[in-house]
């Protein structure tokens, strides 16, 4: 599976989790997914980033809280689950409320399945706690 096909598969998967507001930046291939479950404003849940230096599925684990430190703890769990080290694969500055899963890690079908299950669990967690 190529990264482009994987990107398309993840796009469809994220859209299938529930009603989403989907936004795309004008300058890069970055697509944001914001659940529309609630009447109030809800922060972005996930981003598919196809930009050369990123190429990641980004989960916003403490959406709307850029000062959060939940991201690194959950990043460690995801890395153990999928067998990668984000510091080795990507050199960009990480944010404390985000978890990064490089697309090349998801080319393995068992990793893709595990990442989708994890992502669905995070989606259910945030949409049922707000």
* Span 107-118, pLDDT tens digits: 999 999 999 999
Would you say 95 and 71 are in contact if contact means Cβ atoms under 8 Å apart? yes
Q: Domain spanning 3-129 has what CATH number?
A: 3.90.1150.30
Residue 124 corresponds to which tokens in the numbers above?
Answer: 């259910």
Angle, alpha carbons 30-13-112 (nearest 5°): 90
* Span 49-62, pLDDT tens digits: 988 888 999 999 88
Q: Where are the domains of the chain?
A: 3-129
pTM tops 0.95: no
Confidence of residue 25 (pLDDT cuts 50, 70, 90): confident
- For residue 14, pLDDT over 80 is answered with yes
Cα–Cα distance, 35 to 54 (Å, whole number): 23
pLDDT of residue 53: 83
């Amino acid at each position: 599976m190529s990264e482009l096909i994987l990107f398309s598969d993840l796009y469809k998967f994220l859209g299938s989790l529930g009603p989403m507001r989907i936004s795309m930046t004008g300058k890069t291939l970055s697509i944001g997914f914001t659940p529309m479950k609630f009447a109030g404003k809800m922060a972005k849940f996930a981003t598919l980033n196809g930009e050369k230096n990123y190429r990641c599925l980004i989960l916003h684990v403490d959406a709307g809280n850029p000062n959060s430190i939940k991201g690194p703890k959950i990043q460690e769990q995801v890395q153990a689950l999928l067998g990668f080290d984000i510091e080795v694969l990507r050199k960009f500055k990480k944010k404390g409320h985000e978890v990064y899963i490089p697309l090349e890690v998801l080319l393995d079908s068992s990793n893709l399945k595990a990442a989708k299950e994890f992502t669905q669990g995070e989606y259910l967690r945030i949409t049922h706690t707000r």
